[in-house]
Structure 1
Amino acid sequence: MPIRLQDVLKHSSLTPADPVIRAAAAVAAQTQLRWIHSSEVLDIAPLLGGGELLLTGGQALVAATDKRRVGYIWELAERRVAALAIETGTGLPSIPSAMVAAAEAAGLPLIELRKVVPFVGVMEAINSLLVSETAGHLQQADGASHAMAVELAHGGSLDRILAVLADATGTEVVLTSNEGAPLASALPAEQAAEAEPALTANAEQDRARTISVDVSVRGIPSARLTLRALAGSDVNLARIAGNRSVDILALALLQRMPPGLKEMAGAALIRAVDSGTQNWRLQQLAPAAGIPLSARLVAIVVRSPGSRQLRTAVEQLLDRAGRHSASYADNAELLALAVLRPDTTREDRKDILAGLQALELPEGSVSAVGPVAAGIAAAPWSLTEARLTLELASGVGVNSKGTMQSGGVLDAEDFAVERLASHSLDDARRTDFVRQQLGAILVHDEQRHSALLETLRVWLDSGCNTAQAARELHLERQSMHQRLQRIFTLCGGDPRGTGRLAALHLATRLAAMQSTLPGRSLT
């Protein structure tokens, strides 16, 4: 019998915590658990597999901003975590309203534990029950996988193979291509004669009962398996059986739609570029992937919870913007190479940036486009610089005008100064240079809680365009002029038309770079 969230909240190990559901109560009534974890780390989502009840004492949430708290909720929801339970008390008197609203919107059951209980005891008690349940699920899943293999060996169609899985799990099963085109589907035998089951009134409940698994053929993501648990079916069984069936489905797809040489060579080329393989190997793989050895190309890095699903859309974008492309998705990172046309190199690269900005990416996604590489031998350099751009941004991006903004698509060329400084100057030298150029402004900001440094940076990034900088900072023009006069007084006069302008601009960019590094202080 499935172990549900509402049963766990009534368990003797957890009732002393006086739990109360603060968000997504309608979803909580049907939520089934796979495991219980406890963690105080806010970046825990990528380590979870879905179906967990996550316990936290809330210590990390006390110091976090509302934006980070909301991001924490959405990251857990994206990983299909079953529920989040937060212990409140002296440090965190109540769950912040922003988190409650986000959890309700995301359909993530949010539970307040109003009294302290030992999490270790709760996990030992509940997980022991879940282990027993999982053992039974594994036996059933192995039986289903064996039956699917027999069907495949006898030449069964994809529909017939999926029907075995549907009967074993009591789920509606659909196999689609990376482009979303249906390849096969099946319903349990007792449902097959009826009309297709309708979604429930609550879309979040349907989402919680839906399991999606990527199917890779020879390491290349080729299809997606989706199981939607119908009334009375076991979500955990569906999750385990779906994952156990991937190898059988990969074999079936390999017989019917094997990946081409070009696609396999492209994936191998990206892996070689990423691993720093010797140049002779790159020269061997590039022609097979359709990439000329002397081509001008750029590397793209996309970090996203849905990197595998984004692969097709990104490849289509790159093929439209240039001539050829190759990509490879691994965990939460998508790597790609795009060949640019010799006569329109800059235009093609701009089209790639614009196209990435237009893509609908999951919450928390960030990407970077590396500098143009002259030939396949320089591809590892472009990829390294794209990754360095993400590291330097540290959650802060640059738009086409050079203005800092959160997340999104980052252009490595907008970080040319920061990349050069990272390669050529150590932390101490960068800090010393910033203090020499901006020391008086830094002291003023520290003592008076002003924002002169940010004002100067935006003004310099805008090309010393006072009106544009005022708009970006949401200031009246008079207020902007007053700030600039104060800045000029502190830094020795108006820098326009002097050699100090470039030094000040460099210092403001380095100051922004230093401020994103943990433990760094400029004052």
Structure 2
Amino acid sequence: MQRKVDYFCAAQWPTFTPPLTRQNAELLKEIVDQKVKAGTLTRRLNACGLSLDAAILGVARAAPLPLTEWARRFERLETSLLLLSRGQEVLVLLSSKDAEAVQAILGVPLGLSDSVHSADRMIEALREARLAAAHGTPERPVVHHAQIADRLPWLPQSIEEAWDTFRRILGAVAAHDEQSNARLLHTLRVFLEHNRSWQAAANALNIHKTSLTYRIRRVEELTGRSLSSTADVAALWLALQAADILGLPGPSDGEGYGPGN
């Protein structure tokens, strides 16, 4: 199933002009997908008021919004940036000096990569930004990769390590979700985010407590781990953090959990 993609380029324009911004902002999608031609990259970025040498990549986990709503929120920001919304993940190519202003508009924690410098480094920059975003909190809404690099050795330090962690711990759950649309991964995340409170998690999921109990027991069966064990809870949470680093889609995205998504 094809992922819904929205994108635009904000470049110090007083109003939003859909054809122009949509055409220019396609650049970020091409860079992320490694389809941009190196010979035209500098010229196309300059047309949007950006320089790859000075740019950083930002990642935020946010509820999907239509393109027109993102454009409305950013239209008064006097800066240049590229924004790409895919499912529940928002990617932003911006200057580091604008990070706090961009995060304030996004309204959710923003993880930032080191300087991008070249299109060849975009995949690594995306990993850095996702890793930083995984450590964002309301109290720490802007997180730079440089602030956490080498300080969190328990987290995967590469895309390959993240995939290995996720597959070994939650691969069976992801496969079950893909086949049945059971949303067990989402249920597990909500359950842990609510500190394993059955009632609070059930309320957040808008399901009966009995249904939540069944789903969690199913997760335990598929993983061979117990939510009553601190060690197992830590492993499951680590796997969910690996999913965040990978930018795996949320339950409303309608996506699978393979490397190509």
Alpha-carbon offset, residue 478 of structure 1: 1.4
Report the equivalent of 1:364. Answer: 106
CA change 1:521–1:69 in 2 (3 A) is same
Secondary structure, in 3 states, of the residue corresponding to 2:75?
helix
Secondary structure, in 3 states, of the residue corresponding to 1:43?
strand
Report the equivalent of 1:484. Answer: 216
* 1:75-224 → structure 2 map (5 Å cutoff): 75=73, 77-78=75-76
* 1:385-396 → structure 2 map (5 Å cutoff): 392-393=132-133
Report the equivalent of 2:14. Answer: 50
Query: % of aligned pairs identical?
Result: 23
- Figure out how many residues of one structure are paired with residues of the other and give that number: 180
CA–CA separation in structure 2 for the residues paired with 1:470 and 1:456? 11
1:461 to 189, 193, 199: 193
User: Is 2:236 the counterpart of 1:504?
Assistant: yes
Alpha-carbon offset, residue 54 of structure 1: 5.3
The one-letter code sitting in structure 2 at the alignment partner of 1:393 is A
2:141 to 398, 406, 410: 410
1:450 to 172, 182, 192: 182
Quick check: which has more Rg, 1 or 2? 1
8 Å CA contact retained: 2:7, 2:22: no
Output the aligned Cα RMSD. Answer: 4.9
8 Å CA contact retained: 2:184, 2:215: yes
CA change 1:474–1:440 in 2 (3 A) is same
The one-letter code sitting in structure 1 at the alignment partner of 2:7 is L
CA–CA separation in structure 1 for the residues paired with 2:200 and 2:150? 23
Alpha-carbon offset, residue 436 of structure 1: 0.7
CA–CA separation in structure 2 for the residues paired with 1:52 and 1:500? 49
Alpha-carbon offset, residue 494 of structure 1: 2.6
CA change 1:457–1:417 in 2 (3 A) is farther
Secondary structure, in 3 states, of the residue corresponding to 2:19?
strand
Instruction: Return the structure number with greater relative CO, CA threshold 8 A, min gap 6.
Output: 2
Report the equivalent of 2:204. Answer: 472
**Structure 1 unaligned spans of 5+:** 1-40, 81-302, 306-328, 336-356, 370-387, 401-408
CA–CA separation in structure 2 for the residues paired with 1:54 and 1:468? 42
2:71 to 50, 58, 73: 73
8 Å CA contact retained: 1:511, 1:522: no
**Structure 2 unaligned spans of 5+:** 1-5, 27-62, 79-91, 112-127, 250-256
Secondary structure, in 3 states, of the residue corresponding to 1:42?
strand
Q: Deviations along 1:386-417, whole A, 9 cap, x unmatched? A: xx6787428x96457xxxxxxxx6276xx979
8 Å CA contact retained: 2:16, 2:75: no
CA change 1:522–1:448 in 2 (3 A) is farther
Q: Deviations along 1:250-284, whole A, 9 cap, x unmatched? A: xxxxxxxxxxxxxxxxxxxxxxxxxxxxxxxxxxx
8 Å CA contact retained: 1:441, 1:490: yes
